Amino acid sequence: MDNRRDLVGVGKIQRIAQPNTRGITMSSPASHEQAPETDAVEGVLPYMPIVLPLAGAVLIFLLAFIAVSMA
């Protein structure tokens, strides 16, 4: 049969065209071609060997400054 189905109406047979699905059904998985998303942690990871020691040094300096100013 040619992508059509018969419907029986009030004494008439009508032919209604079905949409062309091109072999895709509702249960087929969606194939969206998307670029892989970059993770936020993976974006920051190369800077961690530089940022962590600097942040630690600033924190130690601030704590020492507070300790000296209170003494």
Give me the count of residues in the chain.
Answer: 71
* Residue range of the domain that includes 66: 43-71
Residue 52 counted as domain residue: yes
Alpha carbon distance 23, 1 (integer Å)? 16
Residue 32 counted as domain residue: no
Closest residue by Cα to residue 18 from 31, 27, 7, 28? 7
CB 17 within 8 A of CB 3: yes
- Our count of domains for the chain comes to 1
Residue 47 counted as domain residue: yes
Segment 17-36, tens digit of pLDDT:
666 656 666 666 666 677 67
Segment 26-71, tens digit of pLDDT:
666 666 677 678 888 889 999 999 999 999 999 999 999 999 999 8
DSSP class per residue in 29-55:
PP----PPPPPHHHHHGGGHHHHHHHH
Residue 68 counted as domain residue: yes
Residue 54 counted as domain residue: yes
Residue 63 counted as domain residue: yes
